[in-house]
Amino acid sequence: GVLLKSDSGSTPASKHDSIDSASGLPSIKSAASWVAPNFMYLLVNIVLYKWHTKSNRERFQSIKCLKEMLRFLPSQDSPRYMPQIMSAVNNAMTSPSSPSDLLDSDYFSKLCLVAVTTLFDFIKIVTSHDSTEVGENLVSIVVTLYPLFDTTDDSTFRGQRFAKEKAAEMLEWLASGKGGDKLPPYFNEI
């Protein structure tokens, strides 16, 4: 295949890439060196592209892909992706994409859970580099999570209940200062 970006421009992937001798597959280091410079391209074209035409199952797969891509995102690069990650998570937290998806509400519940865990993973990456970036976006984070806490129906699906618990854990983590001692004062604005 052809790499989207590399140190010398677009070049074919070669046998010089780091190959894991046991599996014969590219190493994690090799994957990270490719994903990091191509993160925006992957985010837009795999996760966000035609979001509103995707079924909940496709959305679930897209957000799972984003969650895995975060493993390769250098923390120093993470703040610049805040708007796009927030957009992806916000899209995932909205209502099912079509009436037929309402029949598959379990996938929507799972989508909410993986979206919240992805957001939490991303916030941990960003705070490891610059916790003020998360603080400045705290209102957006809370607004994105609000649909989980705005449920009055006790019969929510298990995935949504777990998503709500994970969201509460994330907010507690941020408020406690575990993500950085600069974060708790931002909660005064909420």
Contact 5, 38 (CB under 8 A): yes
What band does 160 get if pLDDT is binned at 50, 70 and 90? confident
Instruction: State residue 134's pLDDT score.
Output: 93
> How many residues does this entry show for the chain?
190
* Radius of gyration, alpha carbons of the chain: 18
From CA 57, how far away is CA 109, in angstroms rounded? 11
User: Structure tokens of 85?
Assistant: 């990650």
From CA 88, how far away is CA 161, in angstroms rounded? 20
pTM: 0.80
> What residue has token string 């970006």?
5
From CA 40, how far away is CA 51, in angstroms rounded? 16
Q: Is the pLDDT of residue 149 over 50?
A: yes
pLDDT tens readout for residues 97-145: 555 555 566 778 889 999 999 999 999 999 999 899 999 999 999 999 9
pLDDT tens readout for residues 79-94: 999 999 999 999 898 7
